[in-house]
Structure 1
Amino acid sequence: MSNMMVITQPQPVMVARDSQEWSSGICDCFNDLPQCCLAFWCLPCFTCITAEKYGECLCLPLVDFIGFGGCIPSVTMSMRASMRQRYGIKGTIGSDCAYSTFCAPCVWCQMSTEMKRRNIQVVMVGAKHR
């Protein structure tokens, strides 16, 4: 007799939110002090960690720091626009560009906070031994 485990895979679930706004303001990074400190003292590390959690390449944000994009941090701006699209947050590409150019650490803190607040935990259920 062999032991066989049958696992039922969870189905994706989307959580509907009433608000189409960011869950934190652009200057609310001090609400999560460890995150704020990491973003301030080591922004490249913080951006790479956040990008990986979002599902992008770990090293993608480093493009902004090497200077391939010119004055506007293109990766930061595009990730902010992508996050707005994914979560249904109102805004414009112009505001994404302005915030990303002049407040990059705050933008990354805001995006990290948004992902934490909208995170859906996947739990394995229905595992049975046969």
Structure 2
Amino acid sequence: MYPRSISILIYPPHSFSLSFYSSSLPSRIIMISSNPNEHVATGVQVNSTDHFYSNNPHELPIHHQPKSEVAWSTGLCDCFDDVPNCCMTCWCPCVTFGRIAEIVDRGSTSCAVSGAIYALIAVVTGCACCFSCCYRSKMRQQYKLPENPCGDCLVHCCCESCALCQEYRELKNRGVDMTIGWQGNAERQNGGVGFPPVVAGGMSRS
């Protein structure tokens, strides 16, 4: 058995801890602020490597970035793994992109705004892929995903629909409900409904 601990941290720094031996219970940390106007992040560590749940209703679970790259959970051409999204992306890619952008931007832009910008660029220039590839890069940085099968810009220029479908599936497989947006997922989490674990690299498909 390994030592586990329950620690109560009082901020400004005063602390005491109770240590005990357990082979199954995770470490729990409680932080208490002596300043009633100061917000202190609290929560329970649910996985030692994947993510941490916050009780802030405006935040989604924080996924700790792995030290090394993690493979995509599905391949670029696995569009039929999610047939409804495949059809939606084929006929109305601005909706798929808008939903992706809202999650990747952590709610700072809405699905409607991002989708409208995408559609406007597509109609005026025909090169919406130059806009959407930036979000693929941003998403890869957030989740430590590899740049494959080639560069982000090239993937979107050559296979725009496939790239959007893959990014959509990746977020969905990481526990995000793509149909309710960032705020809806935050409220769902705050209501006690947890997200599934991050898809491990070993579960990826070639």
State the TM-score, normalized to the length of structure 1. Answer: 0.70
Gaps of 5+ in 1: 1-7, 126-130
Identity %: 28
Residue 3 of structure 1: aligned partner: none
Please state whether the residue corresponding to 1:61 is helix, strand or coil. helix
CA offsets, 1:51-89, max 9 Å, x none?
234334433323541345x75722111011111001011
Q: Given the alignment of the two structures, is residue 40 of structure 1 paired with residue 90 of structure 2, yes or no?
A: yes
Seen in structure 2, the aligned counterparts of structure 1 residues 63 and 88 have a Cα distance that, compared at 3 Å, is farther
Gaps of 5+ in 2: 1-41, 43-53, 177-184, 193-206
Counterpart amino acid of residue 163 in structure 2: V
Residue 55 of structure 2: aligned partner: 10
Residue 89 of structure 1: aligned partner: 145
Q: Given the alignment of the two structures, is residue 106 of structure 1 paired with residue 155 of structure 2, yes or no?
A: no
Q: Which has the higher strand share?
A: 2
Bigger relative contact order (CA 8 A; separation at least 6):
1
My pick for the range that moved more, 114-123 or 25-34, is: 114-123
Q: Given the alignment of the two structures, is residue 66 of structure 1 paired with residue 123 of structure 2, yes or no?
A: yes
Residue 123 of structure 1: aligned partner: 190
CA RMSD of aligned residues (A): 2.9
2:161 and 2:135 map into 1 onto residues whose CA distance is 13
Mark the structure with the bigger radius of gyration. 2
Residue 80 of structure 1: aligned partner: 136
Q: Which has the higher helix share?
A: 1
Counterpart amino acid of residue 10 in structure 1: N
Q: State whether residues 88 and 96 of structure 2, in contact with CA within 8 Å, keep that contact through their aligned partners in structure 1.
A: yes
Seen in structure 2, the aligned counterparts of structure 1 residues 99 and 34 have a Cα distance that, compared at 3 Å, is same
